[in-house]
C-alpha cells in the first residue's frame, strides 16, 4: 500500500540578510538609461536600498498598482529594456519582492516605479509626513496569498505592523497630564 502524505505546514525559511552583498539583475527602460550620465548610471546600481527606505511605507499603504490578483504585470509597452546588475543584500531584494508581489507586479516593474516616484519628487512631499518620528520601515511585513478553489478566488494581502490605521504604534508618545 502506498501512502500519500500532505503537509500544509511546510515552508521555506532562511536568514533574511545572508551576510554580504549579492548581485541581481533588473530591467530598466533603455530610454531611462540613455538619459543618465556616467555617474548616475554607476549610482543607479546601488540605489535600491535608498528607494526602499524612502518609499516602502508609502507604497505598502497605497492602492495596488495592478488590479488582477492572479497575474503579474510586467514592464510591457515601455520600449526596449536594458539588463542591469545591481548590488544589494538579500533583505532589500526580499523587500522589493514582497512589495512587488503584493501589488501584482514584477520586481523590475516595482524598481522602475520607485525610480519614477523619486524622479517626479514624490519623496520630497511625503517623506517628512510618512516617516516623521518613527522608523522608516514597519516592524513586520506579511505577504499572504489566499487561493480559494471552492469560490474561484485569489487574494493577495500585504499586512504590516504596526499599522497606523488599526493599531497603536509602539513608538506612540503618550501625553501625560500636567
Strands 22-29 and 153-161: unpaired
Q: What whole-number distance in Å separates Cα of residue 42 and Cα of residue 37? A: 9
Whether 159 is covered by a domain: the verdict is no
What beta strand segments (E) does 8-150 contain? 22-29, 81-88, 140-148
Predicted local distance difference test score (pLDDT) of residue 44:
92
Is residue 50 in some structural domain? Answer: yes
Which pLDDT score is estimated for 7? 55
Residue 44 covered by a domain: yes
* 13 domain residue, yes or no: no
Residue 139 has pLDDT above 50, yes or no: yes
In a domain, 154, yes or no: no
- Give the pLDDT confidence of 110-131 residue by residue, as tens digits: 999 999 999 988 877 776 666 6
Among 55-64, 80-89, 158-167, whose mean pLDDT is lowest? 158-167
Digit-coded pLDDT (tens) for 42-57: 999 889 999 998 888 8
Question: Could you tell me if 112 and 63 are in contact, meaning their C-beta atoms sit under 8 angstroms apart?
Answer: no
Model confidence band, residue 39 (pLDDT cutoffs 50, 70, 90): very high
Number of domains observed in the structure of the chain:
1
pLDDT digits (tens, 9 = 90+) for 79-106: 899 999 998 888 888 889 989 998 999 9
pTM attached to this predicted model: 0.74
Say how many C-beta atoms besides its own lie within 10 A of residue 95's C-beta.
Answer: 22
Give the domain range for residue 95.
Answer: 22-135
Task: Count the neighbouring beta carbons within 10 Å of the beta carbon of residue 57.
Answer: 21
Asked if the structure places residue 175 within a domain, the reply is no
- Residue 130: inside a domain, yes or no? yes
If you average pLDDT over every residue of the chain, what do you get? 79
Assess contact for 156 and 144: CB atoms under 8 A.
yes
Quote the pLDDT of residue 173. Answer: 47
Instruction: Please report whether residue 122 resides in a domain.
Output: yes
- Residue 152: pLDDT band with limits 50, 70, 90: confident
Amino acid at each position: 500500500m502506498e501512502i500519500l502524505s500532505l503537509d500544509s505546514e511546510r515552508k521555506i525559511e532562511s536568514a533574511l540578510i545572508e551576510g554580504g552583498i549579492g548581485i541581481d539583475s533588473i530591467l530598466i527602460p533603455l530610454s531611462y538609461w540613455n538619459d543618465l550620465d556616467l555617474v548616475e548610471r554607476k549610482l543607479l546600481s546601488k540605489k535600491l536600498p535608498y528607494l526602499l527606505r524612502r518609499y516602502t511605507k508609502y507604497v505598502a499603504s497605497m492602492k495596488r498598482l495592478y488590479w488582477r490578483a492572479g497575474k503579474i504585470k510586467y514592464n510591457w509597452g515601455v520600449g526596449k529594456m536594458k539588463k542591469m546588475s545591481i548590488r544589494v543584500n538579500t533583505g532589500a531584494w526580499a523587500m522589493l519582492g514582497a512589495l512587488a508581489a503584493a501589488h501584482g507586479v514584477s520586481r523590475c516593474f516595482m524598481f522602475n516605479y520607485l525610480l519614477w516616484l523619486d524622479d517626479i519628487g514624490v519623496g520630497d512631499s511625503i517623506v517628512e509626513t510618512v516617516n516623521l518620528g518613527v522608523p522608516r520601515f514597519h516592524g513586520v511585513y506579511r505577504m499572504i496569498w489566499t487561493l480559494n478553489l471552492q469560490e474561484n478566488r485569489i487574494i493577495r494581502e500585504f499586512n504590516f505592523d504596526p499599522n497606523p490605521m488599526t493599531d497603536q504604534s509602539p513608538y506612540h508618545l503618550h501625553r501625560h497630564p500636567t
